[in-house]
Amino acid sequence: MVYDAAHYYVTFGGGLLVGGTEKWQTGFRCRPDNGNLNNSEATLLSQLHNSISVSDILADVTAVIKNNAHPFPGPTTVNWAKVAVINAEGDYAGDAVLQEQAPQGGGGGTQAGWPQLATCVSLWSGSNFGRANRGRMYWPCMASLSPDNATGQAGPKSYFDTLATSITNMIDAINGEVSTVLVGTTPSIMSKIGAGESRPIERVGVGYVVDTIRSRREALDDVVKNWKTTPYTRESALRTDG
């Protein structure tokens, strides 16, 4: 199984809770446009190291977290962004470029976000047939969300709709940073099944139900403190009557 083209993989993330007990990370892929004769891994790497501003990409992500139209909590921070060239086999082709900054957080107050929960951002090609139609990015939870006990949906719903707009604009802005004269790119959903298939990200949406994402855990204490003994111990099994 392979991708149908070498491409750029843009990732970014930061912290979530005071003390660094959780972190977040997500990203998306930018595929070279069809018909471009300069899509070799060497050309992509050269453009990455000489023409792509990862610091500007970091600023684009930070602007989303700091946008108070859909406020994120202050402990939710953006710390880094990275761009890598991925070959058809799905491996890193050469060195990625990482840009870090002092953590910059949201303006939604000092209360931390919910542990192990995330806002699911859905990516869609606009088609329901074939492969490479849907993808996801897991973002942190926004501040002051109030879930409905009956539907499980959180509100205010305007936060989710406005976040979808912000991320749509961010994806376009980041692609503008990644796309160069020699390698024009398109934000894409890419599948490795078979010979690989790719489709442009045509739509971005955010559902109102907060999702779980245990992979965010870094240092949450989940060690069992008290074990309870059942009657079915090995010692009792070895006992004999009389």
48-98, pLDDT tens digit by residue?
A: 999 999 999 999 999 999 999 999 999 999 999 999 999 999 999 999 999
Answer yes or no: are the C-beta atoms of 39 and 184 closer than 8 Å. Answer: no
Contacts for 70 with CB less than 8 Å, ≥ 6 apart: 142, 158, 159, 160, 162, 163, 166
Q: Give the Cβ contact number of residue 119 at 10 Å.
A: 28
Residue 227's pLDDT is 83
Nearest to residue 97, comparing CAs of 185, 173, 9? Answer: 9
Distance between CA atoms of 168 and 189, rounded to whole angstroms? 14
Confidence band, pLDDT 50/70/90 cuts, at residue 219 = low
Q: What is the pLDDT of residues 104-141, one digit of tens each?
A: 999 998 887 777 889 999 999 988 877 888 999 999 99
- What is this structure's pTM? 0.88
H or E stretch covering 234: helix 234-238
Q: Hey, which bits of the chain come out as E strands?
A: 7-15, 23-32, 77-86, 97-105, 117-124, 134-139, 146-147, 154-155, 185-191, 197-200, 203-206, 211-212
Distance between CA atoms of 28 and 110, rounded to whole angstroms? 29
